[in-house]
Structure 1
Amino acid sequence: MGAGTLAVYLTGGTTYSYPYLMLVPVLLAAAWYELPGALVVAMAAGLLMAAMPLDVADGTSQAPSNWLIRLGLYLALGAIAGWLFHLLRKSSETREIVARTDPRSGLPNPIALKEDLADWLAASRRHGTSVGLILVRITDITDVLEAMGADASDELVSAISERLSCEVPEVEGIYHFNTAELMLVLSDIAHDELERIARRLAEVGEDNLVVQDVPMRAQLVLGSSLQQARDTQPDDLIHEARIAMFAALEKQRFHCHFSPAFKRRTVQTIKMISQVRRGLEQGEFELHYQPKIRLLDGRVCGCEGLIRWRDGEGGLISPGLFMPKVENTTLIAPLTRFVASEACRFVADDPGSVSINFSVRNLFDEELLHMLQDMVEEHRIAPQRLEIEITESALMQDLGAAKRAIERMRCHGIGVSIDDFGTGFASFNYLRHLPITGLKIDRAFVNGLELDERARKLIACMIDVGHALDLVVTAEGVENAMQRDILRELGCDQAQGFLYAPALPLDRYHEWRRAYAACQGNSFG
């Protein structure tokens, strides 16, 4: 405004058009300070121009009407500009609030989280403190959605947010990260305190909440991360909290804090899964066979086909490193087709029977079930010589669908056995209704059998249950003669384990079988 006044004076006074330069500070004031600032600056500009001579050269003064009109113009334009800038700013603030807020729960959203987290991290760098995140997943929100609808699930998220905010005052901010997740931000926090707060959240999670007049208890799983370096970015901290939460889900724990080992394992898993299809195409997978022995007379009565992956250098990759992850992807279908095809080819050229494993996805894969039947017919093998082993957890995914799938396999003569019996959701209900042909007792019960009276009693009960339902009972993980003798005394039908042989490649399996037959003086029964 001072520069404008000087410019008008140096150009000869208000006779010329230069007084309109004073609208520049008026408009700037409107932009910065909206209506009040625009009016104050407009009034000041009008009074400055009123004191300015009409003609600086001869000192001629202005008529009152001249500067009053100019003052009114300044005020009018200042008022209009100030009001427009006010509306613009309000509109911008509204858009920003909308952009930062989840429309259903009313909580700040991931955009707000990243912006606010950047500010907290910047403050932590200045003060030498650390910022922590806790990602809270509501694991049973799908049940609420299915039973009560989206409004109820949003109300549940809001109710949990309010409860956490009241019960855990250390939380600086709570954000709705996605449908089933809340992100909690804690500033100036140490690892021990973060663990203590996680335990407190566990207690809060035990409380009942009322949603739409229905009492419910939400199941919460937590993953936490803590700023470790000065250059930590918001996305880094969020990513670590998510990895920790997934680790808690996998380990079936309430809470896990981020460890770099989690990330390394995740990267390795991604790389390994990406190589599975290539491995199938290049013939890197093969089936190994572990013999099953009939305990009554010691004869080989069949085997289990187990997948193995041979890397480019000829070494074997343990199934435990890739199968648990592959089972949760669509790659399990081509992998199981390979296993089934190899098993059928084996049975076509070899006496005895073979069992293979099915995952949850396999059990509910209609195309795979059709293909299994076609393979049996193509290789012209008796279907009863092929057995499918299914874990109890697979059955519990959808007992009705599992029953229909098993009935289809049984209708075609294929045997179905429950694998890892006793470690999952053992239920007399499914044993009663499912048309299964066998039970396989998990190695956890066989391990230390010769030293544990309670283990012997448990296995005796399992064997009795199996025989009461006319099922063939197999014990896996048999490692010594004492275990074998006890199982035989208890009436167990079959055994497999390192006492006899590990899973062997096809040629070595044939060699072992011939040597075993020569030693025992018998062959397949």
Structure 2
Amino acid sequence: MTDSLSQLPNRRALHRNIAAAAAGQEMAVALIDLDGFKTVNDLYGHGVGDRLIKEIAQILRQLCGNDAATYRLGGDEFAVSMVGPLAGTLLEGICRGLIETLSQPVALDDRRIPIGASVGLARCPAGATLESSELLRRADVAMYVSKRDGKMRCTWFKDEFDRSLEALRDLDNDLRAALLHEEFRVHYQPLVDSRTRHIVAVEALLRWQRPDGRDLGPDVFIPVAEESGLINAIGAWVLRRACTDALRWGIKLSVNISAAQLRNPEFPFQLGQILEETGFPPERLELEITETCLVLDPLVAERSLDLVRGLGVDVVLDDFGTGYASIGFLRQFRFEKLKLDRSLVVDSAVDESLRAMMLSSISMARALKMRVTAEGVETEDQAAMVRSAGCDHIQGWLFFAPMPAGEVAQHLTAEVPQGGTAKAEPGRKVA
């Protein structure tokens, strides 16, 4: 009952050892899933992936010593078990040691391979009885929570996780029905030129009104869609709908792209098909991505963005000012535009240090030949500040709230001289 690649005991051995553990003692199990292992196989080949598995197995042996048993369950999944007093505490220490070790790339010959680990922990207290399958299920659920909460962490199983998973499964089913029955809607928030206040672009924003009348925001259902894989179908629907709506407006269109979409190797080809089907000019499309989309799998993201740019589509870094993007990071990904986060804009009006940060961000963008948009502008003072700071475009409720496609068309028709672009009315909010 040994894994042939790593020479560690396998899944059957783990079940056997749990069942044979002395009754009355505390037992703890850790389920370990490697973060980014698929990327390693894609970039370097399965031979390097196999060597990495062997190296991780050796790291675990060293961390566990004679105190705990290490197993390879298959693929990039490992487990560690421990029996005895303080088993849970000691096991957590081993797992945190693994995460700390993997915070640095693993050296294989002349390569330094970035890899991480997400860990789920479950225990059977002294005097209690749990089947091995249930103990592993709990550790698996906890590992899923570690993945969902950002990876590279340890999470202990809690009973509430099961209740949360049931709610997530229900929401996933509802999302599938929503896509089938076209319950989603796309609203658009205009961006205006900072000096002329003419509408120059719109950002597509996804809305979901459930059959019971409740509105759910993307911050609630998009993470669920990412986990289930449904995000690719929803994202394609949004792109197709937005390109169809905006085709006749003659202005730029921005669409948000999630990390899961960017990791999908088929995404650039899917985007090309949508542009061809709808006839939308690629030079009028901008894809907005956040820093998180890039740091999880930077090599995969860079490859996808190169293909996207090959179509003639621009890439925008959204929510700038909330993460840790460096000049090197910005140069690596060569964004066409930076979008200053609302919090940076609002706080810069009352905090000199943040104002200096905003000004330096704009100067840096200029040096890298990027345009700059300020979002979340709600007052004339904020609009004047970002305009004088050098922002090209402004987005916010001072000018327009998100609106259905028909209202965008009305503004562009009613407020624009023949052949011109719409001019926003300061302070006007359109529901």
- TM-score norm. by structure 2 comes to 0.78
The amino acid of 1:238's aligned partner reads L
Q: Retained in 2: the 8 A contact 1:221–1:245?
A: yes
Residues of 2 paired with 1:211 and 1:519: CA distance? Answer: 59
Structure 1 unmatched ranges of 5 or more: 1-99
Which stretch has the larger CA shift, 349-358 or 334-343?
349-358
Code of the residue aligned with 2:30 in structure 1: it is I
- Checking the alignment, whether the CA contact within 8 Å between 2:29 and 2:123 is kept in structure 1 is yes
Structure 1 pair 281–240 and aligned structure 2 pair: CA distance change class (3 A) = same
Structure 1 position 179 matched with structure 2 position 75: yes
> What is the DSSP-based 3-state SS (H/G/I as helix, E as strand, rest coil) of the residue aligned with 2:349?
helix
1:286 is displaced (CA, Å) by 0.7
* Counterpart in the other structure of 1:405: 307
Paired residue for 1:224, among 107, 121, 126? 121
**2:191 — aligned with what?**
292
1:239 to 125, 137, 146: 137
Q: CA deviation at 1:440?
A: 1.3
**Partner secondary structure for residue 398 of structure 1:** helix
| Count of paired positions | 407
Residue 362 to residue 456, structure 1, CA distance change in 2 (3 Å): farther
CA contact (8 A) 1:333 1:368 kept: no
Give the one of 409, 419, 430 matched to 2:318: 419
Distance 1:355 1:274, change over 3 A: same
Going from structure 1 to structure 2, the CA distance change for 1:104 and 1:368 (only over 3 Å counts) comes to closer
Quick one: structure 1 residues 455 and 252, their matched pair in 2 at CA, closer, same or farther if it must change by over 3 Å?
farther
Tell me whether 1:308 sits opposite 2:207 in the alignment.
Answer: yes
Report which of the two has the higher share of helix. Answer: 1
Match for residue 93 of structure 2?
A: 199
| 1:303–1:224 distance in 2 versus 1, CA, 3 Å | same
Residue 399 of structure 1, CA deviation:
5.5
How far 1:237 sits from its partner (Å)? 1.4
SS of equivalent to 1:106:
coil
Q: Does the CA-based 8 Å contact 1:376-1:383 persist in structure 2? A: no
Instruction: Give the CA deviation at 1:457.
Output: 1.9
Confirm or deny: 8 A CA contact 1:294 1:300 kept in the other structure. yes
Q: In the aligned structure 1, how far is the partner of 2:334 from the partner of 2:256? A: 17
Judge conservation of contact 2:398–2:427 (CA < 8 Å) in 1.
Answer: no
Superposed, 1:56-95 pairs within 5 Å as none
* TM-score when normalising by structure 1: 0.65
Percent identity over the alignment?
Answer: 25
Structure number with higher relative contact order (C-alpha < 8 Å, ≥ 6 residues apart): 2
Distance 1:231 1:506, change over 3 A: farther
Q: Give yes or no for the alignment of 1:107 onto 2:8.
A: yes
Deviations 1:424-463 (CA, angstroms, capped at 9, x unpaired)? 6745567557675422123353352223333222221221
- SS of the aligned residue for 1:473 comes to strand
| Paired residue secondary structure (1:288) | strand
Aligned mates of 1:162, 1:494 — CA distance in 2 = 56
* Structure 1 CA distance for aligned equivalents of residues 236 and 106 of structure 2: 48
Is this contact kept in 1: 2:398–2:426, CA < 8 A?
no
Query: 1:31 maps to what in 2?
Result: none
Distance 1:406 1:213 in 2: 33
Q: Residue 117 of structure 2 contacts residue 151 of structure 2 at CA under 8 Å; is this kept in 1?
A: no
Return the match for 1:353 from 252, 259, 262. 252
Q: Contact 1:296–1:488 (CA<8 Å) still a contact in 2? A: yes
Hey, what does 1:268 align to over in structure 2? 167
User: Does structure 1 retain, via aligned residues, the 8 Å contact 2:263–2:300?
Assistant: no
Distance 1:438 1:260 in 2: 45
Give the 3-state SS of the residue equivalent to 2:206 in structure 1: strand
Displacement of 1:512: 8.7
Give the C-alpha shift of residue 309 in structure 1.
1.6
**Preserved CA contact (<8 Å) 1:406 1:434:** no
Shifted more, 267-276 versus 301-310: the winner is 267-276
In structure 2, do the counterparts of structure 1 residues 219 and 373 end up closer, same or farther at CA, with 3 Å as the change threshold? closer
Aligned counterpart, 2:270: 368
Alpha-carbon spacing, 1:509–1:185, altered in 2? closer, same or farther (3 Å): same
What does the per-residue CA deviation read over 1:331-354, in whole Å, with 9 as the maximum and x for residues that have no partner? 334323322232233224546433
Contact 2:120 2:142 in 1 (8 A): yes
1:520, distance to aligned residue in structure 2 (A): 4.1
Q: Are positions 1:249 and 2:151 aligned together?
A: no
Larger-Rg structure = 1
Name the amino acid aligned to 2:96: A
Partner Cα separation in structure 2 for residue 469 and residue 211 of structure 1: 33
Look up the SS of the partner of 1:174 in the other structure. Answer: strand
Structure 2, unpaired ranges of 5+: 416-421
Equivalent residue for 1:16?
none
Per-residue Cα deviation, 1:56-86 (whole angstroms, up to 9, x for no partner):
xxxxxxxxxxxxxxxxxxxxxxxxxxxxxxx
2:176 paired with 1:282: no
Q: Which moved more, 1:245-254 or 1:226-235?
A: 226-235
